[in-house]
Chain A
Amino acid sequence: RVPALYQMKIFAPDKCTAKSRFWYFVSQLKKMKKTQGEILQCKEMYEKHPLVIKNVGIWLRYVSRSGIHNMYREYRDLTSAGAVTQCYRDMGARHRARASTIQIIRVEEVAASKTRRPNIKQFHNSKIRFPLTHRLNRKLHKPRFTTSRPHLTF
């Protein structure tokens, strides 16, 4: 009798967390616990083309204060891992969702024509061109006191 073999793509900051999340998801999906199973391999998957800009579609499920919701979000990034990181930060910012309440269901590179979000579609312009207006002066203490107003338009 050959035991079942499952593979999952986990987005985690380190191997330890990755293994833990693997068991978290596998227990939800199959009748298997850490004591009943064995992780055969946990290895980092590197991006095939890390210098090509991709539109990444992320399907996720998160717990809000008043219920559980599904979401589809899009991000532009060089790697899927980078896009997922953006997603976690974005969810925290927009919905105050902590990482523990977010479950990434599916991460997929989406062709430009198939993207759904206007804030991603606006970058699909081969002649993209915009100015950097009102560049803030972040060097508040270098010098701390000065007689001249900062130069913000370049």
Chain B
Amino acid sequence: MVLSQFRFVEVGRVAYISYGPDAGKLAVIVDVIDQNRALVDGPCSGVSRKQMNFKALELTSIVMKIPRGLRPGNLRKAWEKQEVQKKWDSTTWAQKIANKKKRAQLTDFDRFKLMKAKQARNRLINVEFGKLRKTVKRPAPRLRKKKSVKK
């Protein structure tokens, strides 16, 4: 994998916190402490400014344009101005998380509705598939040439 394909830890990189008390929240890397830790802040997502190990951070594709060590008040302004929440919500990652959450909160009736919806969709797909299958010309069965044993 080429270096340019990685997401970089840099000032302004928005990260998703994967575990710990703030799991599931977004935060910005405000400064890098050392090889393992960053100073992280998420004023609009309820993460107070703190140090976090990179192991708990999953880097997103969003990078904010902020100076190093930006104060929380100004960081909040920059977050809202650069529409970080909107950018995050439009990513597939965020949508997958939202879907998972929705699925976990389904009631039995919702699951029934889901089952019926899936059934209806699959029926439509199968009907089309059947039509396609009929139109394909069946190739003539190939005669197998038996290898003659040379005496």
Contacts and interface: CB of A to CB of B under 8 A. Distances in A.
Secondary structure at the A interface, as helix, strand, loop or mixed, is: loop
B33 A128 contact: no
Q: Range of interface residues on chain B?
A: 20 to 34
Interface residues of A, number: 19
A153 B1 contact: yes
A28 B138 CA distance: 98
Contact of B3 (A51, A123, A126, A131): A131
Interface stretch (B4-12, B20-28, B129-137, B140-148): B4-12
Interface in A103-154: 123, 126-133, 138, 153-154
A78 interface: yes
Interface string A63-86: 000000000000111100000000
B11 A128 contact: yes
7 contacts: A52-B69, A123-B34, A128-B9, A130-B9, A131-B6, A132-B6, A132-B54
Interface of B: 1, 3, 5-11, 31-34, 39, 49-51, 54-55, 58-59, 68-69
Given A78-B39, A123-B33, A132-B7, 19 more contacts: A52-B69, A53-B31, A53-B33, A53-B69, A75-B34, A76-B34, A123-B32, A126-B68, A128-B11, A128-B32, A129-B9, A130-B9, A131-B7, A131-B9, A138-B55, A153-B5, A154-B7, A154-B58, A154-B59
